[in-house]
Amino acid sequence: MARFDRLEFGDTRDAKSADSQSNSHANDAAPADALPDVSFEALRNADLNRRKGLYENALRQYSRALELEKSLIAGWVGQLQMLVLIEEAPEADVWGRKALELFPGNGELLAARAQAVCRVGDIKQAHALADAAMAAPGRTAYRWQVRGEVLLANRQEMEQHCFSKARECDSDWLVSLETALIYLRYRFPAKATIAARAATELAPDQPYAWYVQGLSEMELDQSRLSRQCFERCLQLSPHHAEAKKRLLEVAKNRWSIGRLVRRVFRPR
Amino acid sequence: MPGSIACGRCGASLRLAATTIGIHPPRAGALTKQWRRWVPLRNRYFYAVRDLFRKPLLDVSAFFLRGVDLRELSSAVIVRMIVPGWAQIYRGQARRGQLFLFPWLVLLFLSVLCLGSTASGWCFGFLISLHAMSIVDLFARFEGVERGRRLVVCFLVLALVSMPYILVVTQSARVISVRQFLADAEPFSSGDVVLYRPRAYLNSGPQIGDVVIYRNRPYRTGGVNGLYVYDGEWVNRIVAAGGSHVVWKNSQLTVDGQPAEHLPLNASRLPAAMEVLVPADCFCILPTTIPNPGAPLDKQSSEALSIVDRTSILGKVIVRNYPPHRWWWLN
């Protein structure tokens, strides 16, 4: 009977045939089993670009992954994260709303939208979304990270606990690095430096980690340390244009009234 | 279950593979990002203020709109209230909407046509009343709402709708001004209305041949019947610029010895002969439209009243728009 065709009885052969049937229905032109490989390859490329700080490229790769497989939640979440990281939070908010229409109640998407809304400035809604993300089944580093960001944006003290929870969930250096970026976004350079140092300790061969640490040190007016970080970044990636630019900035480091004012009004 | 469009456990759409979904996110241009950086209109303070006022506003609207089916009072309906009858047509009451819309358009046309006249004022008044009636009619359709509340909501919406009227009137007054003639002054009669542009000469000076509205310097002259004072705003054509030598003789106007290209509006009222040397920064506007209560203007008065300095020119006249049967493009 047709209504029992899709029930799972543990018969892998039948399940595979059903899967291939649905995939071929979705995309007649592509071979059924080749499709996920290509999309996961795109996701892998996106991740590689993300680890290099090439967020535009990463966004393109996430979109490519979704072109091949629209149900990849990682692709949707990645797009939202990249939009947020390239300072396009209002667009991320719109896109997050759309993604949540397709995957209602998905914890990662809720967290991503919370981050976008938080960056736009609607802290109240961001709180609600972050709470909803935490209430959704499963625990991931990203949800803890977003919760920490929302608390940080609201100048609440508990953000460190959330970031350490995020590190417990996932020991990847990228978690520490993105935590550092969050701290930098909200002008907490001291805490950003600690998180960036954790990232460089975990992955001393990653130029982008050194670059972010350099940025944090620079914000703290630690010229010597920031210069060292940018130099290490350039050792690992000699064509890193941003690091070269920052290194020049550090070299030309002179007294400025803007920096003085920033130092006086620094939150912590 | 077969046929379900969403996952029973997580609610995810099961139609993703088969549907057309855009997978490229919206992007902000470089200019937009720059703009956001410099003018952060939507920041945490914006949302804090919004949250502060949201609840009281919702409470107030909930009090007044209790019983109203808010689906009927959607933003689409509210926006369409800007034109009477449009909201009714949108809600499917085409006939009723047309009853408001067409008279409103006619009144709008008449009030623009006769702008500056008393008739225009009457038309404008009727126009606003009609607009109010259309809104009241719209709210009268919401059943189950107390009459008092309905009235308050009507007034609130009316106040909102009147904003565009106020905006149009105040802004148009800056672009086009109106003058009504209070006495006969050929070719104008008492009650005639002219429209002029007060800002026409902000960037460039008046040109020879322009019909302008100007204020003459008060000029006193002794007549047979007493003392006459010529003071007021008049409309006439500029015939010569500063530094010119203007001569009117044998019914011919010459400027610097050459026949003039432009004659004043009512040349028959000029004296038999006159001669004017126009000072710099002044214009020659012959006083042929100034009403003369007693005897016609003599040569000396005509010459004195012909010189108008730049600051006395108030604007460029466009049209005599009232009465409609005397419609006349003046420039």
The interface predicted TM-score (ipTM) is 0.73
- Which parts of chain B fold into alpha helices (H)? 30-38, 44-64, 75-80, 86-90, 94-113, 118-140, 147-175, 299-305
pLDDT over 70, % of chain B: 84
Task: Say what the pLDDT of residue B223 is.
Answer: 61
Three-state SS letters, chain A:
CHHHCCCCCCCHHHHHHHHHHHHHHHCCCCCCCHHHHHHHHHHHHHHHHHHCCCHHHHHHHHHHHHHHCCCCHHHHHHHHHHHHHCCCHHHHHHHHHHHHHHCCCCHHHHHHHHHHHHHHCCHHHHHHHHHHHHHCCCCCHHHHHHHHHHHHHCCCCCHHHHHHHHHHHCCCHHHHHHHHHHHHHCCCHHHHHHHHHHHHHHCCCCHHHHHHHHHHHHHCCCHHHHHHHHHHHHHHCCCCHHHHHHHHHHHCCCCCHHHHHHHHCCCC
**Structure-token match 């397709």, residue found:** A102
Q: What is d(CA B115, CA B99) in angstroms, rounded to the nearest whole number?
A: 24
Residue whose C-alpha is closest to residue A187's, from A264, A104, A96: A264
**CB within 8 Å: A94 and B42:** no
Task: Say what the pLDDT of residue B14 is.
Answer: 60
How near does any CA of chain B get to the CA of A123, in Å? Answer: 7
B51 touches chain A (CB under 8 A): yes
Residues of A whose CB is below 8 A from B13: 102-103
Strands B177-180 and B193-197: antiparallel
Residues of B whose CB is below 8 A from A92: 25
pLDDT digits (tens, 9 = 90+) for A83-93: 999 999 999 99
Q: Give the bridge partners for B278, in sequence order.
A: none
Residue whose C-alpha is closest to residue B239's, from B272, B268, B202, B206: B206
pTM of the model: 0.52
Task: Say what the pLDDT of residue B268 is.
Answer: 81
Compare CB distances from B44 to A83, A92, A121 and report the shortest one's residue: A121
The domain limits of chain B are: 38-172, 184-329
- Interface residue of A68, A98, A122, A129 to substitute, partner B, most B CBs within 10 Å: A122
What CATH architecture is A189-268? Alpha Horseshoe (1.25)
Q: What is d(CA A200, CA B325) in angstroms, rounded to the nearest whole number?
A: 87
B325 vs A229, B114, B258, B320, CA distance in Å? 85, 11, 37, 10
Task: Say what the pLDDT of residue B72 is.
Answer: 64
Helix (H, G, I), strand (E, B) or coil at B204: coil
- Name, in order, each residue with C-beta under 8 angstroms of A57's C-beta and a sequence gap of 6 or more: A46, A49
Least confident of A53-62, A116-125, B148-157: B148-157
**Structure-token match 């689906």, residue found:** B71
- Interface residue of A28, A69, A103 to substitute, partner B, most B CBs within 10 Å: A103
Q: Which two tokens stand for residue A79?
A: 């797009």
Compare CB distances from A104 to B11, B42, B44 and report the shortest one's residue: B11
- Interface residue of B5, B7, B10 to substitute, partner A, most A CBs within 10 Å: B10
Task: Say what the pLDDT of residue A51 is.
Answer: 95
Q: Name the residue in chain B with its Cα closest to that of A119.
A: B43
Task: Say what the pLDDT of residue B144 is.
Answer: 61
pLDDT digits (tens, 9 = 90+) for B233-258: 889 999 999 899 999 888 888 999 89
Task: Say what the pLDDT of residue A20 is.
Answer: 39
B55 touches chain A (CB under 8 A): no
Least confident of A30-39, A240-249, B59-68, B294-303: A30-39
**CB within 8 Å: A88 and B28:** yes
**CB within 8 Å: B25 and A79:** yes
Residues of B whose CB is below 8 A from A63: 23-25
pLDDT digits (tens, 9 = 90+) for A128-149: 999 999 999 988 999 999 999 9
Compare CB distances from B2 to A2, A26, A122 and report the shortest one's residue: A2
List every span in chain A annotated with CATH 1.25.40.10: 2-170, 189-268
**CB within 8 Å: B12 and A71:** yes
Q: What is d(CA B107, CA B19) in angstroms, rounded to the nearest whole number?
A: 51
pLDDT over 90, % of chain A: 62
B44 touches chain A (CB under 8 A): yes
Q: What is d(CA B242, CA B253) in angstroms, rounded to the nearest whole number?
A: 16
**CB within 8 Å: B25 and A63:** yes
B224 touches chain A (CB under 8 A): no
pLDDT digits (tens, 9 = 90+) for A181-233: 999 999 899 999 999 999 999 999 999 999 999 999 998 888 889 999 999 99
Strands B273-277 and B313-322: unpaired
CB B128 within 8 Å of CB B108:
no
> What's the mean pLDDT in B281-291?
87
pLDDT digits (tens, 9 = 90+) for A8-40: 544 444 434 434 333 333 333 334 444 567 788
The CATH superfamily of A2-170 is Tetratricopeptide repeat domain (1.25.40.10)
Residues of A whose CB is below 8 A from B14: none
pLDDT digits (tens, 9 = 90+) for B184-237: 877 888 888 999 999 888 888 899 999 999 988 888 877 666 777 888 888 999
Residues of A whose CB is below 8 A from B47: 121-125
